[in-house]
Structure 1
Amino acid sequence: MSDRPSPHRIGLVLHPTRDVRSVSEEVVRWARQEGAEVVVAAGDADRVADGVVEVAPDHLVEACSALVSLGGDGTMLGALRASAGTGVPVLGVNLGRVGVLVEVEPAELPGALQRILEGRFSVESRPALRVTGVDLDDGSPSAVAFNDVALSRCPGDGIASAALSIDGQGYGVYRCDAVIVATPMGSTAYSYAAGGPVVSPTLSAMVVAPASPWSGISRPVVLAPEDRLALELLPDSGVLALEVDGRVMAPLEPGMRVEVVEERDAGHVVRLDRALHDRRSRVKLSLLDLPLLPDELRELLPRELGRAED
C-alpha cells in the first residue's frame, strides 16, 4: 500500500512513433470520470485523445503526480530519465514487442489507474548510473542511465581498449567490442545479451560486462554501489561511441576517461503486482532465448488457441 497522496494530474510519456491514441483515450475517459487531469508535453496533443492539458516539455514532470509511459521498454526508460530525482512514479503500459520493464498490458490499464487513484499500489525505487568526464553532444555535463552505459566499437575504427579502475585503483584492461556498465534493472538488456548475470532489480550493484572480448578481462564483474568506476581509453583503442540507455551521446577517443557512479533512488516505478510482473518478465526473457520468430512461436500453441488468435 502506498502512502503517497492520490494523484490528480497524470502525465503521458509517448512512444515517439507508435500509435497511442486508443490507449490514451482510455486514460482520458477514466480521468473525466474521476475528476483527474491528463497532461502531455506540448507538441504531443495531436497524437492523443481530446481533453488533455499541454505543458512545456521541461515542465511535464513537475506538473504531475504520476507519469504513464505508453510504449515499450525504451519509452519507460525515457520516462524514468525525465523524472530522475523528482520522486514522481512511473507506470509502464506495454505497447512494445517485449516490455520487460513495464507493469501492465493495455487491457489492464483502467483497473491500474483506479488503483493508483485510490493509493493501492507500491513504489519501487531504482538506481541510475551518472556518467561524467566527457563533453556530451547535447552540451550537458553528465547523463543518467537506468539500464546501461556502453563504450561501443564503431565499425572500421578498431576495438575498444580500456583500462578499468575502481576508486582510483587499477583493476585491469578490456579489449572487446564494447564495455557495458549496467544497473540491476538493466542487467536483462545489453549486459544480458553479452553474457552478464541477471541481477534482481531490488539490489544495489553495478555490472561491468565485455561484449565479444578479445583479451584482458573476459568475464563480467559485479561492483558495490559505493564503488567509483572509471574507464580510460588506451592509446591502441579505436574511436568509440558513448551510449547511454542506447542513445549515442558522444564520440570517445584514445586518452579520454569516462567516470560512472551509482545514484540510489533516482527513479520510482509503480508496482501493482510484483509477483505477476516478475513471472511475465521471466517468460519474456526465456522466449527471447528461443531461436524462433513470433509467428513460429504460435505454431507451438494448441490448435484451438491458434485459431482464436486469427
Structure 2
Amino acid sequence: MTDVLTPGREPHVLGLVIHPRNDVSESVATVTRAARRHGARVVARPADAARLGDGVSAVDDREFVERVDTVISLGGDGTMLGAMRLMAGRQTPVLGVCHGNLGFLIEVSPAQLPTALDDLAGGRFRLEPHSCLEVTGGTGLPGPTPAFNDLVVAADRPSKTATVDLEINHVRHGYYRCDAVIACTATGSTAYNYAAGGPVISPSIPAIGLTPVAPMSGIGRALVLGGEDTVALCNPSEHRTLRMSLDGATGGRLEPRGRVTLRLRQNVVNVVRFDPDALGCRNRVRLSLLDLPLRPDQLLELVPDHLRERARRLRHAPAAP
C-alpha cells in the first residue's frame, strides 16, 4: 500500500483470496479497516466476495488479475498456492496469512496481520521470488499451467499402479511403475515429495525433483534435474488414462499415449516477507518434527530465545514449599 495517498494516484487495490471453508472474517475486518485508513480499495472474486460482506467489492477473475496491486491470501498453503497460480507471471506482491493447518509458505498469523499491514503500507518488507513448473499437455488444463509445489501423475482409480515413461531433453530414460510420480520444485520438495521419501532441495538451486511413490519396477530412485532441463512424462498405455494434479488441486488427465511436458520457470511470482529468518526457523522446527535426524541439542537450537530463557528460569526457580 506504499504511496496510496499520493495526489493524482489511483487508490491502491487489495485483492483477497480466501480459504473455501474456514472463517476468515476477523482478518477481513482487519484488512478493510486498514484499507479505509490508507485510502485503499478491497476486492475479491465473486464467489469469495459473496462471503465477505460490506467493504469488499466483487470483480471478475480477469479484472482481479489485472487491477490488484497486492494480493492477500487468507488460508493455508493450498490457498496461498492458489493465489500464487492466479498471479503467475506478474510482479504483484502476494501476502499470506495463516488460516489453515499448514503454513510452510506463510509467515503471518492473524494476530500479526495489523502490524504486517502497517509494514506493508510503509514499505517495510522484502519480496521473495518463487519459481514454478510450467505444465503443458494433457487434457483438462487451460494451456500452460503453473505448479509452484508439484505435479503428480497417478492411476485414474484407487489401488491401481501407474506406468509412466520418462523423457529428459527429448531422450527416453526408462519408465516408472508405481502408485504415482511426483515432479516438484525446490519449494515443493518439502511437501508430497518429502513425504514420499524424496530429497529436500535447497531453494537456492533451480532444479526439478522427480520421485516415484511406492515403486514396483522401473526407475525406483528419486532424481534431481537441472533448471534448464525439459521433462516429459508419457502414458505408454493404449487403453488406460492417468490422472494429474497440480499443487494438490488443479486436475487434468493424461490420455492413452498422451504426454505432459514440464519446464522450470524462475521468478514467476513475488511473496511478501517481513522476517525470512523467523519463517526459516519455524519451518526447520516443523521439518524436525517430521523426523529429520537431529540430536536433542540441535533441536534445542530451533527453540526461540525467549522460550529457552523462560525454560531456564523455570528450571532454576525455587521449589514451592
Please indicate the TM-score interval, normalised by the length of the shorter structure: 0.7 to 0.9
Structure 2 CA distance, aligned partners of 1:42 and 1:163? 41
The 8 Å contact of residues 131 and 268 in structure 2, kept in 1 or not, is answered as yes
**Structure 1 length normalisation: TM-score?**
0.86
Q: Which amino acid aligns with 1:222?
A: V
Q: Which amino acid aligns with 1:198?
A: V
| 1:104 and 2:108 correspond | yes
Q: Which amino acid aligns with 2:67?
A: A
Structure 2 CA distance, aligned partners of 1:19 and 1:217? 44
Matched with 2:94 is 90
Matched with 1:226 is 228
Matched residue of 1:60: which SS? helix
| 1:122 and 2:126 correspond | yes
| 1:145 and 2:134 correspond | no
**1:94/1:237 Cα in 2 relative to 1: closer, same or farther (>3 Å)?**
farther
Matches within 5 A, 1:289-300: 289=291
| 1:42 and 2:42 correspond | no
Matched with 2:191 is 189
The 8 Å contact of residues 11 and 40 in structure 1, kept in 2 or not, is answered as yes
Structure 1 CA distance, aligned partners of 2:159 and 2:288? 34
Deviation at 1:53, TM superposition (A): 2.5
**1:190/1:236 Cα in 2 relative to 1: closer, same or farther (>3 Å)?**
farther
Q: Which amino acid aligns with 2:32?
A: V
| 1:30 and 2:34 correspond | yes
Matches within 5 A, 1:1-310: 6=3, 8-136=12-140, 140-155=142-157, 158-235=160-237, 238-289=240-291
Q: Which runs of 5+ in 1 are unaligned?
A: 291-301, 303-310
Matched residue of 2:139: which SS? coil
Q: Which amino acid aligns with 1:212?
A: A
The 8 Å contact of residues 139 and 254 in structure 2, kept in 1 or not, is answered as no
Deviation at 1:237, TM superposition (A): 8.6
Q: Which runs of 5+ in 2 are unaligned?
A: 5-11, 293-310, 312-321
Structure 2 CA distance, aligned partners of 1:281 and 1:49? 34
RMSD of aligned alpha carbons: 2.2
Matched residue of 1:126: which SS? strand
The 8 Å contact of residues 138 and 253 in structure 2, kept in 1 or not, is answered as no
**1:192/1:23 Cα in 2 relative to 1: closer, same or farther (>3 Å)?**
same
Deviation at 1:284, TM superposition (A): 2.3
Q: Which moved more, 1:158-167 or 1:50-59?
A: 50-59
Matched residue of 1:218: which SS? coil
Structure 2 CA distance, aligned partners of 1:99 and 1:259? 29
Q: Which amino acid aligns with 1:16?
A: P
Deviation at 1:287, TM superposition (A): 3.1
Deviation at 1:154, TM superposition (A): 3.0
Matched with 1:297 is none
Structure 2 CA distance, aligned partners of 1:250 and 1:37? 35
Matched residue of 2:128: which SS? strand
The 8 Å contact of residues 138 and 255 in structure 2, kept in 1 or not, is answered as no
The 8 Å contact of residues 238 and 257 in structure 2, kept in 1 or not, is answered as no
Structure 1 CA distance, aligned partners of 2:84 and 2:198? 23
Q: Which amino acid aligns with 1:265?
A: N
* Corresponding residue pairs, total: 287
**1:204/1:153 Cα in 2 relative to 1: closer, same or farther (>3 Å)?**
same
Identity across the alignment (%): 44
Structure 1 CA distance, aligned partners of 2:133 and 2:112? 31
Deviation at 1:280, TM superposition (A): 1.2
Structure 1 CA distance, aligned partners of 2:192 and 2:24? 27
